[in-house]
Chain A
């Protein structure tokens, strides 16, 4: 309970509260959905643990789930005391507290749950930690999915949970917005200077750490007639000898003309490329949730939170799956490309701005370590790391774990399946981290027996 200044005022407040609670205490229904928050002595709001909590109470006895833990306890008046046990039945915490208005809060001691519920970690359990705790009711969802048109009022260039939400939305909602155009949006404020800028973040009500945020890209169209592109190979794409011998034209015109109606882009004629016309495949270079804890990254970076993934199949129709690290997930997007080859070998795609429409959903209680996606033809796992070989291993491993989880395959079956059906894409070679995609065709996945 929040402490108020001492003296007669506090006594009066307490009296009023007591009067208010007495008739409510029996009616105060503990049953239903809650958001549980556990805050240790060294936690900030960004590192606190959040869980979906479901409780039932009957004749003073309380039962339910706190994340993956089982709850058992007593509700006496406005006093709640519960114990938590893990899935093996081992006691992992005790919490006591009381009703405070619309929420319960108190103190206790808990063994922190592992963040990734799907991980089969062999690490020893952590010691119990003194915590303060809160139970608050989730924000009630309005009846029926809503559609929003969000005109950006600012952009942000740093991936961080500290970036304040631009809009609160619910699972099922649809948002139409646009990503940044440097010319048109020169006057719009930008938060942080991290290179690539994102629109949002969108706070998705109901999303908690350990959940998966589902983002379906409904529409993605360029909204300007030009896309600018670099014309020099990045050092990670060619040999040192090639990079040293290359003679680049500093005046080379890399401003493509984009014709979204006919879905083609054409390069201003140069002597060797008088008619270079390519199909447009408009994609989002950046799409992200807030990174874990207090981590902050520049807009050009990428990681388990997504970010500058630069995958050329993150297009209209693609669905992305993000591990959620903070309440609300904090979805953002930007850095659109009219087209891009594998690896972004010149450091850019056809850099452009887009109109984008997306819908969101939340898968509660399941998350993978990194981002996944589903395109028209493939199930996709991203592997972001400090090297291409490691990215290959992470992408393959996450895809294997996904197949094992969703299709109940054993390790031999996954191996057999991948040995004949796995495909890789090298998505990103030129940014602070590397990004490799492992994928399997949905036509083959459909032949598996769950």
Chain B
């Protein structure tokens, strides 16, 4: 990480040294990248004001003051309690500042918003200073990318399908908050609408790099369109061991003649078994197209297979991640690195056959950012509910994480006390068991928007 930063810094100085010498205007917004001796770089939004040779402004949640003389800059950081939070000195070269110094309390505080929830993203430099001396850091300041004048409509044809959630995936497209992307996904096995096979294993399209997204932010994804784009789907025909008792599992006699092939009839809004057995010759299921996988890059150097799920989302398999739903992701890396895939034409709770009606999808989405506000896990808003996901290694823990995250969110959003949120949930909380058969479990806690709208 250090090496990478040094390279960036070197590049910056080569480009702009000449142009700049006298009176670079440092005022305005910057993105700070802070790298310590170990661990991941941290990021902060910086606002500088210039008054003669004096600098003021903010660095994350800290206040900043300093001087600028002969292209050299010094900055002192003060935390929200007025205590020193570090000192930095650097050199201006064009639209970049590079330097070093020390920052107290590690490289930055943690974003608020999940009190007592137990899990927090690690981003957000320049927040609350902790106890202890400063850490020696190198830093750089760069100008944020400029937002286009108007939101864009982008048509994206996926060419790369990635099967591992990781910040190392190269962005396939850079987009800005407000942009609308029209694209499509292959099914979990990698087969697209035309029957062409790409990478399988719950692969995702993207990742989409969202300009302006920093660790500690929330990425908002509006699913504007999620529609099946072919007439076939395939589903498993055996119940997973987490859904039935061992006795059932050992005595079950599965019929190889039941194929799990479905024919999608979107004009009728239903799917029917392609080779129905006698008992299911009149059977059909309503189509409710959903995205099984939707994700940002997981924290730090973590890497997970496409079938996995976690605080970054991934294979959450929630059957209300449908057209019209909005998802909220904690951001762990600059640009968030949004990806999606694994469409299902319909799915029961828990994905008890290990797969749903697996198929490819046409997807339109738009993105927004909520800066400096993040929760421990993914959240969502459907037509009727505010939703918190709880991904964990067991269903009981998933229940606890989902309820806690929802309670923390609702307390903050609606200014409720612990007693108030408890009695609200006592009557209005609903759970959905979304995922029983993948590497982690997923339970949803949700409250109806109807009661939230009328209670204040």
User: Quick check: is B394 within 8 A (CB to CB) of the other chain?
Assistant: yes
- Given known contacts A416-B258, A416-B280, is B248 in contact with A229 (CB within 8 Å)? no
Those of A363-420 within 8 Å (CB) of chain B: 387-389, 392-394, 396-397, 400-401, 407-420
A220-236 interface code vs B (CB 8 A; 1 in, 0 out)? 00000000011111001
- Given known contacts A238-B404, A411-B255, A413-B280, is B416 in contact with A272 (CB within 8 Å)? yes
CB B141 to nearest CB in A, in angstroms, measures 36
Return the chain B residue nearest A436 by Cβ. Answer: B433
- Taking a contact as CB atoms under 8 Å apart, the answer to whether B403 and A449 are in contact is no
User: Quick check: is B239 within 8 A (CB to CB) of the other chain?
Assistant: yes
Measured CA separation A342–B281 after assembly (Å): 36
B418-455 interface code vs A (CB 8 A; 1 in, 0 out)? 11101111111111110010000001000000010011
B232-275 interface code vs A (CB 8 A; 1 in, 0 out)? 00011111001111011001111111101000000000010100
- Taking a contact as CB atoms under 8 Å apart, the answer to whether B242 and A389 are in contact is yes
CB A113 to nearest CB in B, in angstroms, measures 20
CB B414 to nearest CB in A, in angstroms, measures 7
- Taking a contact as CB atoms under 8 Å apart, the answer to whether B422 and A248 are in contact is yes
CB < 8 Å A-B pair total: 267
Measured CA separation A344–B408 after assembly (Å): 19
CB A270 to nearest CB in B, in angstroms, measures 6
**Cross-interface CB contact of A420 among B239, B279, B347, cutoff 8 Å:** B347
Which residues of A sit under 8 angstroms from B337, Cβ to Cβ? Answer: none
CB B230 to nearest CB in A, in angstroms, measures 17
User: Quick check: is B285 within 8 A (CB to CB) of the other chain?
Assistant: yes
User: Quick check: is B148 within 8 A (CB to CB) of the other chain?
Assistant: no
CB A243 to nearest CB in B, in angstroms, measures 8
Segment of A39-47, A166-174, A273-281 engaged in the interface with chain B: A273-281
Which residues of A sit under 8 angstroms from B425, Cβ to Cβ? Answer: 233, 237, 341, 345-346
User: Quick check: is A333 within 8 A (CB to CB) of the other chain?
Assistant: no
Measured CA separation A408–B277 after assembly (Å): 12
Which residues of A sit under 8 angstroms from B355, Cβ to Cβ? Answer: 419
CB A97 to nearest CB in B, in angstroms, measures 38
- Taking a contact as CB atoms under 8 Å apart, the answer to whether A345 and B403 are in contact is yes
Measured CA separation A134–B281 after assembly (Å): 50
Measured CA separation A249–B432 after assembly (Å): 29
Return the chain B residue nearest A237 by Cβ. Answer: B403
- Taking a contact as CB atoms under 8 Å apart, the answer to whether A246 and B418 are in contact is yes
Return the chain B residue nearest A421 by Cβ. Answer: B348
Measured CA separation A401–B401 after assembly (Å): 32
Return the chain B residue nearest A121 by Cβ. Answer: B247
- Taking a contact as CB atoms under 8 Å apart, the answer to whether B423 and A229 are in contact is yes
User: Quick check: is A242 within 8 A (CB to CB) of the other chain?
Assistant: yes
Measured CA separation A418–B242 after assembly (Å): 14
Which residues of A sit under 8 angstroms from B256, Cβ to Cβ? Answer: 412
Which residues of A sit under 8 angstroms from B416, Cβ to Cβ? Answer: 272-273
- Given known contacts A272-B420, A419-B351, is B404 in contact with A449 (CB within 8 Å)? no
Those of B165-182 within 8 Å (CB) of chain A: none
CB A128 to nearest CB in B, in angstroms, measures 27
- Taking a contact as CB atoms under 8 Å apart, the answer to whether A416 and B235 are in contact is yes
A242-273 interface code vs B (CB 8 A; 1 in, 0 out)? 11111111001010000000000101001111
User: Quick check: is A208 within 8 A (CB to CB) of the other chain?
Assistant: no
- Taking a contact as CB atoms under 8 Å apart, the answer to whether B116 and A242 are in contact is yes
- Taking a contact as CB atoms under 8 Å apart, the answer to whether A400 and B248 are in contact is yes
Measured CA separation A178–B282 after assembly (Å): 44
Segment of A55-63, A143-151, A186-194, A424-432 engaged in the interface with chain B: A424-432
Which residues of B sit under 8 angstroms from A5, Cβ to Cβ? Answer: none
- Given known contacts A342-B430, A346-B426, A420-B285, is B239 in contact with A396 (CB within 8 Å)? yes
- Taking a contact as CB atoms under 8 Å apart, the answer to whether A241 and B404 are in contact is yes
User: Quick check: is A1 within 8 A (CB to CB) of the other chain?
Assistant: no
Which residues of A sit under 8 angstroms from B451, Cβ to Cβ? Answer: 276-278
User: Quick check: is B117 within 8 A (CB to CB) of the other chain?
Assistant: yes
- Taking a contact as CB atoms under 8 Å apart, the answer to whether B417 and A424 are in contact is no
Those of A126-163 within 8 Å (CB) of chain B: none
- Taking a contact as CB atoms under 8 Å apart, the answer to whether B238 and A412 are in contact is yes
- Taking a contact as CB atoms under 8 Å apart, the answer to whether A449 and B285 are in contact is no
- Given known contacts A242-B117, A413-B280, A418-B353, is B399 in contact with A349 (CB within 8 Å)? no
Which residues of B sit under 8 angstroms from A241, Cβ to Cβ? Answer: 116-118, 404
A347-373 interface code vs B (CB 8 A; 1 in, 0 out)? 011100000000000000000000000
**Cross-interface CB contact of B280 among A230, A276, A426, A448, cutoff 8 Å:** A448
User: Quick check: is B55 within 8 A (CB to CB) of the other chain?
Assistant: no
Measured CA separation A416–B254 after assembly (Å): 11
- Taking a contact as CB atoms under 8 Å apart, the answer to whether A231 and B426 are in contact is yes
User: Quick check: is A110 within 8 A (CB to CB) of the other chain?
Assistant: no
Return the chain A residue nearest B348 by Cβ. Answer: A422
User: Quick check: is B15 within 8 A (CB to CB) of the other chain?
Assistant: no
B113-153 interface code vs A (CB 8 A; 1 in, 0 out)? 00111100000000000000000000000000000000000
User: Quick check: is B224 within 8 A (CB to CB) of the other chain?
Assistant: no
Which residues of B sit under 8 angstroms from A345, Cβ to Cβ? Answer: 403, 422, 425-426, 429
Which residues of B sit under 8 angstroms from A416, Cβ to Cβ? Answer: 235, 237, 258, 260, 273, 280, 353
- Taking a contact as CB atoms under 8 Å apart, the answer to whether B235 and A392 are in contact is no
User: Quick check: is B283 within 8 A (CB to CB) of the other chain?
Assistant: yes
Which residues of A sit under 8 angstroms from B419, Cβ to Cβ? Answer: 231-232, 248-249, 252, 270
- Given known contacts A278-B427, A278-B451, is B280 in contact with A236 (CB within 8 Å)? no
User: Quick check: is A339 within 8 A (CB to CB) of the other chain?
Assistant: yes
- Taking a contact as CB atoms under 8 Å apart, the answer to whether B245 and A397 are in contact is yes
Return the chain A residue nearest B257 by Cβ. Answer: A412
Which residues of B sit under 8 angstroms from A411, Cβ to Cβ? Answer: 238-239, 252-255
User: Quick check: is B223 within 8 A (CB to CB) of the other chain?
Assistant: no
- Taking a contact as CB atoms under 8 Å apart, the answer to whether B117 and A392 are in contact is no
Measured CA separation A244–B278 after assembly (Å): 56
User: Quick check: is B395 within 8 A (CB to CB) of the other chain?
Assistant: yes
Which residues of B sit under 8 angstroms from A16, Cβ to Cβ? Answer: none
Measured CA separation A450–B283 after assembly (Å): 12
- Taking a contact as CB atoms under 8 Å apart, the answer to whether A340 and B427 are in contact is yes
Return the chain A residue nearest B396 by Cβ. Answer: A388
Which residues of B sit under 8 angstroms from A429, Cβ to Cβ? Answer: 399
Which residues of B sit under 8 angstroms from A277, Cβ to Cβ? Answer: 451, 454-455
**Cross-interface CB contact of B117 among A239, A342, A409, cutoff 8 Å:** A239
Return the chain B residue nearest A423 by Cβ. Answer: B349
CB A304 to nearest CB in B, in angstroms, measures 14
CB A210 to nearest CB in B, in angstroms, measures 19
Which residues of B sit under 8 angstroms from A276, Cβ to Cβ? Answer: 423-424, 451, 455
CB B307 to nearest CB in A, in angstroms, measures 17
Measured CA separation A394–B247 after assembly (Å): 10
**Cross-interface CB contact of A393 among B244, B285, B356, cutoff 8 Å:** B244
- Given known contacts A273-B455, A274-B456, is B279 in contact with A239 (CB within 8 Å)? no
**Cross-interface CB contact of B427 among A349, A423, A444, cutoff 8 Å:** A349
Return the chain B residue nearest A403 by Cβ. Answer: B279
Can you give 8 contacting A-B residue pairs, CB < 8 Å? A270-B419, A272-B417, A278-B451, A343-B431, A393-B245, A400-B248, A418-B348, A423-B349
Q: Residues of B with Cβ closer than 8 Å to A?
A: 115-118, 235-239, 242-245, 247-248, 251-258, 260, 271, 273, 277-285, 346-353, 355-357, 394-396, 399-401, 403-404, 407-408, 414-420, 422-433, 436, 443, 451, 454-456
Q: Which 5 residue pairs across A and B have the least CB separation, nearest first?
A: A245-B116, A419-B353, A412-B258, A422-B348, A341-B429
What would 6 more interface pairs be, CB under 8 Å, given A239-B400, A392-B350, A420-B357? A231-B422, A232-B419, A246-B422, A278-B451, A394-B245, A414-B239
